[in-house]
Structure 1
Amino acid sequence: MSREGVDHALKKLRDERDRIAASLLELDRHQGSRLLEGARLTGETWRRWDGAQARLATLWRLFDAYQRVLDAAGELRDRSSRPDAATLTELSGMLSGFSVELPDGEIPLEHRTLLGPQERRITLDEAVAMMSDAYEFVAGEIAAADAAWTALLQPLERAEEGWRETARLAHSLDGTRHPELDRVGRELTALGRIVRTDPLSLVKDGRPDTVRLDRVCAILTSLGDELAGVARMREDYEELVVRVTASIEEVEETERRAHDAHATALAKIQSPNLPEPSRGLGTALRDRLAALERLREAGRWVEMAGRFAELERAADDALERASGDLRLSAGLLDRRGELRGRLEAYRAKAGRLGLVEDEQLTALYGEAREVLWTAPCDLRRATTVLAEYQRAIRACESETGNRR
């Protein structure tokens, strides 16, 4: 190499060295690198970081060997402003020949033989290529771990804080442990250990897998909402008791009316085929309300919230059942009233048609009225006679029209 060629090569290589040094220092200062160095790693992440650290250590040793060659070449060049041919030859060998001694164990495969490596030196360009490969590998492992932590750590910490708040709320409500909350806490602890020590084990197809964490967060949110509802129930307990008491009273009143209607139907309707109405629905509900009061006095709000919701559903079911009993009995009486109303309406129609004195219609009317106003009333017979009365009126009406 000429003197100008040596100077140009030295300048280019020094610029390259400075960029390499800056990249290596930036890699050391990277957040992911600091996290990996400070964490107690396990599993997949430990295995990969252990391999990356080995490559990184070799990279630094290779950079040191690379830099020593450049420093030696610079010192040799600085000894004379006009180096002689021997010096230029030596400089040419340092800058473009096999001048960089490889760290132990880093002999490239192409330089190895069956009996072992025959060459332990590489060129500066080859050293840069090897350092680039190692840098890309280490940077890729650091970036993968950092991406996993970025995606998982913040949601994990929010979930852990949410669990602590929910646990405090649960304790304030009944002072006892909440089994489901404890289970979620154990799951969160186990997941937290994995996220903090082995985040790469949660990476699938190049992306952090948050399914397990999302499931825990969803359960925790549900528990938090449930306990918040319990807290609101504790605050509004008196109003809720008033409301459920009113529901129980409505059940009792409907139950009483159903029994009255049943007794009336038995007395006034022939062969009603009615089942016996339910009994004691309101009493059973009041017993359950009294049991809830004992839970309140014991401060067992979480348990009481579930029981209270069950009581409200039971009150709704009881009201529907009592109302159904009432509809069955009242329906028969209503049917009798409907038939009576229709009979009088048909009689009024017969009067408007001038058919009041018709013997057939008079007989049918009398028969229908006797059935409907006699207790117990035979609703089937009454329905049949009323239908005959209606057909007779229509027939007479048709004959009158034809004569006209």
Structure 2
Amino acid sequence: MSREAAEHALRARADERDRISDDLLDLESHTTYRLLKGAALRGATERRWAGAQQSLAVLWSLHDAYRAVLREAERVRGERGRMGAERLARLTELLSGPSVVLRAATQPVERRSLLPQADERLTLDAAVSRMDAAFQEVTSALNDIDAVWNAVLPRLDAAEADLRRIRELEGELGEQAGVDAREPARLRTAVVQDPLGAAVAQDLDRLAKLLADTRAELELAVTVRAEYARRRENLTAALDDVRSAESEARLAHGAVVVKIALPPQALPRGRADALAAGLQVLDVSAEPWVRRARRLSALEDEIRTAAEQARTTAKALYGLVGRRDELRGRLGAFQMTAARKGLAEDPDAVRLYERARTLLWTAPCDLTRAAAAVEDYRRALHGDTRRPG
């Protein structure tokens, strides 16, 4: 190696040394690394981190030996006087030869031998490659552990916040929700001590849903207790709306049944009395507010649905009369078509027309048969003798 090449190599190695030192300092300041150094690990994580620590010990030993070689190279380069062949050869040996000595590791007594253990000699390049492999093993373990903690611990924090809120709401209501407060702590211990081996995903999903649902129910119970008088007053008014809508449906049935043939099940059935009885039961209930809140919300939905169904029934009943009138109009239009086509006196057309007209002007009208009769008349006028599908 020439003097210029040796000096260039030494400068490059100095930059490399600084970069490696910075990376190792970043590693030691990494939050997860610092947590793991003093953590009581177990299971798969304990085994993985033990292997990473062995690699880390090798890395530091290599790093110390590597830096020692560079210090010696800098000392040789910095000696006074002209760099002769002997100094250049020494510098070349340090920078490109197997100058890094990795001392044989002390083995546990059960794995020792009475024969001397040979040290390993590496070039600077080989030492850097070995250090990089060890560094990658350590950072890989850190990344895997960190990924689990980053995914699970915030969810556990949220679950514990829900649990604290549940305890506050229980105190406010004077009722117990029956949630086991030990479960979040158990899951936290498992994931902190063995993030790589703790299968907590399903348990955490179940716990998070349980706590979120319980919190929502308790918050609803608190709200319902505070708003019960107002909401009960609204329900009373809503029941009056149901009675009015059901009365309209009965009136519609009475008006329509004389005009349109209706099946027995078409008679509107009132729900207002049963819903009012449900409200009275709720008034005197001694159930916890969580259950009363559920029942109140369900009763509000039922009352709203009953009013909507009654209005829909009335509209549908009146719609049957409109359907009959529509069929009458279509029949009249088809009769004019028959006249234009010269079929007004055709016996078959006349018979079909009279049949449809009789059905449509008979009270109560059988809409199904009348609609089929009008369609038969239309097909006859257009020469279509096929029956529909």
Partner Cα separation in structure 2 for residue 312 and residue 102 of structure 1: 79
| 2:223 aligned residue | 232
Give deviations 1:145-175, integer Å, cap 9, x for gaps. 2233233333332332133223322332233
Q: Say which SS state the counterpart of residue 121 (structure 1) adopts.
A: strand
Show the counterpart of 2:212. Answer: 221
Structure 2: how far apart are the matches of 1:124 and 1:91?
Answer: 13
Q: Contact conserved, 2:104 with 2:119, CA < 8 A, in 1?
A: no
Contact 1:42 1:198 (8 Å CA) reproduced = yes
Cα distance in 2, alignment partners of residues 67 and 316 from structure 1: 81
Q: What is the alpha-carbon distance in structure 2 between the residues aligned to residue 64 and residue 83 of structure 1?
A: 27
Asked if the contact 1:3–1:82 (Cα under 8 Å) also holds between the matched residues in 2, the reply is no
Letter in 2 for 1:192: R
Separation in 2, partners of 1:254, 1:152: 53
2:290 to 282, 302, 307: 302
Give distance in 1, aligned partners of 2:184 and 2:103.
Answer: 45
CA contact (8 A) 1:56 1:138 kept: yes
| Residue 189 of structure 2, aligned match among 171, 176, 193 | 193
User: Is contact 2:100–2:122 with CA below 8 Å preserved after alignment?
Assistant: yes
d(CA) in 2 for partners of 1:3 and 1:103?
31
Following superposition, the deviation at residue 118 of structure 1 comes to 5.6
SS of 2:196's equivalent in the other structure is helix
Aligned to 1:153: 153
Q: For residues 280 and 301 of structure 2, what CA distance do their matches in structure 1 show?
A: 16
In structure 2, stretches of 5+ residues that fail to align are: 107-114, 247-263, 265-270, 309-363, 366-389
Q: CA deviation at 1:299?
A: 8.4
Equivalent position amino acid for 1:20 in 2: I
3-state SS, counterpart of residue 170 of structure 1 = helix
Contact 1:174 1:299 in 2 (8 A): no
The DSSP-based 3-state class of the residue aligned with 1:101 is strand
Structure showing greater Rg:
1
Q: Against the structure 1 CA distance between its residues 247 and 7, is the aligned structure 2 distance closer, same or farther, given a 3 Å change threshold?
A: closer
CA contact (8 A) 1:52 1:138 kept: yes
CA distance 1:37–1:244, shift in 2 (3 Å): same
Distance 1:312-1:121 versus aligned 2 partners, 3 A rule: same
List gaps (5 residues or longer) in structure 1: 107-114, 204-208, 256-273, 275-280, 321-381, 384-404
Q: TM-score, normalised by structure 1?
A: 0.58
Contact 1:101 1:122 in 2 (8 A): yes
Q: Residue type of the partner of 2:213?
A: S
Q: Is the 8 A contact 1:43 1:201 kept in 2?
A: yes
1:319–1:65: structure 2 CA closer, same or farther, 3 Å change rule?
closer
Instruction: State the alpha-carbon separation in 2 of the partners of residues 13 and 20 from structure 1.
Output: 10
Change in Cα spacing, 1:83 to 1:317, as seen in structure 2 (3 Å) is closer
Distance of 2:131 and 2:162 partners within structure 1? 46
Are residues 314 and 21 of structure 1, via their aligned partners in 2, closer, same or farther at CA, if it must alter by over 3 Å? closer
8 Å contact from structure 1 (residues 173, 299) kept in 2:
no
Once residues 130 and 319 of structure 1 are traced to their aligned partners in structure 2, the CA distance between those partners, rounded to angstroms, is 79
Q: What is the aligned partner in structure 1 of residue 79 from structure 2? A: 79
SS of 2:169's partner is helix
Cα distance change of structure 1 residues 286 and 99 upon mapping to structure 2, 3 Å threshold: same
RMSD of the TM alignment (CA)? 5.3
The answer on whether the counterparts of 1:31 and 1:146 sit within 8 Å (CA) in structure 2 is no
Corresponding letter in the other structure for 2:50: D
Residue type of the partner of 1:120? E
% identity of equivalent residues: 38
**How does the TM-score come out when normalised to structure 2?**
0.60
Shift of 1:291: 5.4
Q: How many residues align?
A: 318
Deviation at 1:85, TM superposition (A): 3.3
